[in-house]
C-alpha cells in the first residue's frame, strides 16, 4: 500500500507484474483487487466481459466530489449511468456541437499565442500557459463565458483531480470510515466539494436567470444540461477538457525538446501546411500527419490516465483461467501495457515513427494502445480532447522556436512524474520562445 500511495503507482504495479504476471490479485485492505498488465487480458476485461466489468467501485472521492456517485465517470453501471452517457454522446460531445465551438477555440488559441508572444525571449511556464488555455476554453464552452470566480475555480479543479485520483488508504477499508477521517482525507475532500459546489451553483443560478429572461443565444453546455435537467456531468468536462489535454501537450513538447530532430520535423510540417496563413486553422489539422504521430507516441509513453479509471465486476466470470468473483475491483495498468516489449519495440524510446504504416489507433479496438480506455466506458470526449491537443500543439510549433532556459542541455531536462487523478510532469516545463510567425490579433 505504501508503494501504491506514492508518486508512481503505475510503475510499482508494473514492477510487481514483471514478477507475478499479467493478472495479479491484491488484497488491499478489505477490497479484493485484480491488476491487469497485458493487452490480451485487458481485452478479456474490456471486450469479452465488458458488461460484467462495466461498473465503477464506490470510492470516497466519488461519493463526495461526484455528488453521491451521480457523476457519469464514477457512477456504478445501471439505468442512471446509461441515461447520463446518452446525454454525453448525443447532446454534449457530438460532432456537430464540438464543431460549433470552433470560434471559441480560435479566439482562445489566439490569446494563448499572444500571451506567449508577450513573454518572448524570457522563460515561460508552458504548463501554466497551456492549463490556462484549456481551462478558459472549457469554461467558455461549458459556462458560455469565463467564470467570474476564474482563479478560485482553477485551484479547486486542480485540487479535485489530485483528490479524486491516487490511492487513498481509506478507500480500501470502506467499513472503517474513521480511517479517512483520521488521515484528514475526508475533510480535504469535503472542503474541495464545498468550493466547487458553490461556484457551480452560482453558474447554474445565473443560467436559470438568463433562461427566464429568454437571453439564451448560443447554447453552452450548462444550457444543454439544464434543458435535459442533469448538471452532474460538469466536473468531468473540466477534468477531461483541462488536465488531460494540458498534460499531453506539455509531455509532447518535453519529448521534442529532448529529441530536436523530431521537433524540427514536426515544425517543418506545420509551417509547410499552414503556409502564409496568419495562424493554424482547424482545417489544417487533417494534413498534420507527423504531428499526429507525435501525439500518439505521447499518449503511449506519457498517458494522462495510466491506470485508466477502475472498474468493478458485477458477477462471477473467468479471466485468464482464474475465477473472479462479483464485486472485484479491476485496475487496468495501461501504462504497463504500453511499455510491454512484446507489443512495442524499445518501449522506453520516444519514437513517433513506430506508428507509420501501422493501423493501431486509440479508438478502443487495439488493446495494446488504449489511452482512452475501451468498451462501454470508453472516454466519450476523444474528439474534443484530441482536437484541443492538436490545435494548441500545432500553434506552439508554428509560431515559435523553443530553447531550454539558462543554456540547459536537453539531456538535463527532467521527465519526473507526479500522480493524482492524472499523470503530470512534476516540474513544469519552462522554455524560452522565439517568435517565428506573428500571430493575428484577436
Ligand atoms: C487527452 C484527453 C483525454 C484522455 C487521455 C481521456 C482518457 C479517459 C479514460 C482512460 C477514461 C476511462 C475509460 C475506461 O474506463 O475505459 C475516460 C473516461 C471519461 N472521459 Fe476522458 N479523456 C480525455 C479527454 C476527455 C474530454 C475532453 C472529456 C469531456 C469533455 C472527457 C470525458 C470523459 C468522461 C465523461 C468519462 C467517463 C465515461 C464513463 O465512465 O462512462 N474525457 N477518459
Dist CA 79 CA 32 (whole Å): 26
Calculate helix-pair angle for 245-258, 260-274, nearest 10 degrees. Answer: 120
Supply the pLDDT for residue 442: 44
Dist CA 32 CA 339 (whole Å): 26
The percentage of residues in the chain with a pLDDT greater than 90, rounded to a whole number, is 55
Tell me, what CATH number does 297's domain have? 1.10.630.10
At residue 233, the 3 state secondary structure works out as coil
Residue 264 within any structural domain of the chain? yes
Residue 440 within any structural domain of the chain? no
Residue 4 within any structural domain of the chain? no
Supply the pLDDT for residue 212: 62
Residue 2 within any structural domain of the chain? no
Phi, then psi, of 197 in degrees rounded to 5: -65, -40
Q: Which atom of ligand 1 is nearest to the CA of 85?
A: 41
Dist CA 190 CA 232 (whole Å): 17
Beta pairing, strands 329-332 & 31-36 = parallel
DSSP one-letter string for 388-431: HHHHHHHHHHHHEEEE-GGG--GGG----EEESSSEEESS--EE
Number of domains within the chain: 1
Whether ligand 1 lies within 6 angstroms of the CB of 236 is answered as yes
Judge residue 293's burial from the number of C-beta atoms within 10 Å of its C-beta, 0-12 exposed, 13-18 middle, 19 or more buried: buried
Q: Which of 71-85, 191-205, 291-305 has the highest mean pLDDT?
A: 291-305
Whether ligand 1 lies within 6 angstroms of the CB of 422 is answered as no
Whether ligand 1 lies within 6 angstroms of the CB of 302 is answered as no
Whether ligand 1 lies within 6 angstroms of the CB of 304 is answered as yes
Residue 442 within any structural domain of the chain? no
Residue 207 within any structural domain of the chain? yes
Q: Which atom of ligand 1 is nearest to the CA of 311?
A: 15
Mean local confidence (pLDDT), 347-369? 96
Domain that holds residue 208: 9-435
Phi, then psi, of 35 in degrees rounded to 5: -115, 125
88 is in an annotated binding site: no
Q: Decide: 325 and 33 in contact? Cβ < 8 Å.
A: no
Residue 441 within any structural domain of the chain? no
Q: Decide: 44 and 22 in contact? Cβ < 8 Å.
A: no
Mean local confidence (pLDDT), 60-67? 60
pTM recorded for the entire structure: 0.89
Tens digit of each residue's pLDDT (9 = 90 or more) over 90-115: 877 888 888 888 999 999 999 999 99
Q: Which of 381, 391, 421, 424 to mutate to test the pocket of ligand 1 (most atoms within 8 A of CB)?
A: 381
pLDDT of 150 > 80? The answer is: no
Tens digit of each residue's pLDDT (9 = 90 or more) over 127-141: 999 988 998 888 888
Q: Which of 139, 250, 372 to mutate to test the pocket of ligand 1 (most atoms within 8 A of CB)?
A: 372
pLDDT tier at 393, thresholds 50, 70, 90 = very high
Whether ligand 1 lies within 6 angstroms of the CB of 364 is answered as no
Q: Decide: 298 and 352 in contact? Cβ < 8 Å.
A: no
Residue 3 within any structural domain of the chain? no
The ipTM value here is: 0.98
pLDDT of 419 > 90? The answer is: no
Tens digit of each residue's pLDDT (9 = 90 or more) over 177-224: 555 565 667 777 777 778 777 877 877 787 777 766 665 556 777 787
Whether ligand 1 lies within 6 angstroms of the CB of 221 is answered as no
Whether ligand 1 lies within 6 angstroms of the CB of 332 is answered as no
Supply the pLDDT for residue 232: 55
Amino acid at each position: 500500500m505504501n508503494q501504491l500511495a506514492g508518486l508512481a503507482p503505475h510503475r510499482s504495479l508494473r514492477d510487481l507484474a514483471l514478477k507475478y504476471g499479467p493478472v495479479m490479485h491484491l488484497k488491499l485492505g478489505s477490497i479484493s483487487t485484480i491488476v491487469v498488465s497485458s493487452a490480451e487480458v485487458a481485452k478479456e476485461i474490456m471486450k469479452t466481459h465488458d458488461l460484467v466489468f462495466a461498473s465503477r467501485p464506490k470510492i470516497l472521492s466519488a461519493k463526495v466530489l461526484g455528488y453521491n456517485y451521480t457523476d457519469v465517470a464514477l457512477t456504478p453501471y445501471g439505468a442512471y449511468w446509461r441515461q447520463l452517457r446518452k446525454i454525453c454522446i448525443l447532446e454534449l460531445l457530438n460532432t456537430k456541437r464540438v464543431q460549433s465551438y470552433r470560434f471559441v477555440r480560435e479566439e482562445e488559441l489566439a490569446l494563448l499565442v499572444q500571451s506567449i508572444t508577450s513573454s518572448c525571449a524570457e522563460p515561460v511556464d508552458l504548463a501554466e500557459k497551456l492549463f490556462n488555455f484549456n481551462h478558459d476554453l472549457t469554461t467558455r464552452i461549458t459556462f458560455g463565458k469565463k467564470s467570474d470566480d476564474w482563479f478560485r475555480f482553477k485551484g479547486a479543479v486542480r485540487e479535485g483531480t489530485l483528490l479524486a485520483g491516487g490511492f487513498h488508504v481509506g478507500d480500501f477499508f470502506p467499513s472503517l470510515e474513521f480511517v479517512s477521517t483520521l488521515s484528514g482525507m475526508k475533510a480535504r475532500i469535503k472542503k474541495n466539494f464545498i468550493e466547487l459546489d458553490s461556484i457551480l451553483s452560482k453558474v447554474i443560478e445565473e443560467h436559470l436567470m438568463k433562461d427566464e429572461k429568454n437571453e439564451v443565444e448560443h447554447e453552452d453546455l450548462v444550457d444543454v444540461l439544464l434543458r435535459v435537467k442533469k448538471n452532474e456531468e460538469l466536473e468531468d468536462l473540466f477534468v477531461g477538457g483541462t488536465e488531460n489535454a494540458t498534460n499531453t501537450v506539455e509531455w509532447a513538447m518535453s519529448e521534442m525538446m529532448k529529441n530536436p530532430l523530431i521537433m524540427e520535423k514536426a515544425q517543418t510540417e506545420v509551417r509547410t501546411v499552414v503556409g502564409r496563413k496568419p495562424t493554424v486553422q482547424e482545417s489544417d489539422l487533417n494534413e498534420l500527419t507527423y504531428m499526429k504521430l507525435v501525439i500518439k507516441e505521447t499518449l503511449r509513453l506519457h498517458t494522462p490516465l495510466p491506470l485508466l479509471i477502475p472498474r468493478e465486476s458485477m458477477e462471477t466470470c473467468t479471466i485468464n483461467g482464474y475465477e473472479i468473483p462479483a464485486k472485484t475491483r479491476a485496475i487496468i495498468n495501461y501504462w504497463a501495457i504500453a511499455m510491454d516489449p512484446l507489443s512495442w519495440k524499445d518501449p522506453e524510446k520516444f519514437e513517433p515513427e513506430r506508428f507509420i504504416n501501422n493501423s493501431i489507433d486509440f479508438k478502443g479496438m487495439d488493446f495494446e494502445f488504449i489511452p482512452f480506455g475501451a468498451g462501454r466506458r470508453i472516454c466519450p470526449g476523444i474528439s474534443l480532447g484530441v482536437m484541443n491537443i492538436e490545435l494548441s500543439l500545432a500553434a506552439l510549433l508554428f509560431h515559435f522556436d523553443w530553447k531550454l532556459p539558462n543554456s540547459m542541455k536537453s539531456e538535463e531536462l527532467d521527465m519526473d512524474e507526479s500522480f493524482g487523478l492524472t499523470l503530470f510532469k512534476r516540474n513544469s516545463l519552462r522554455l524560452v520562445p522565439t517568435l517565428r510567425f506573428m500571430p493575428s490579433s484577436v
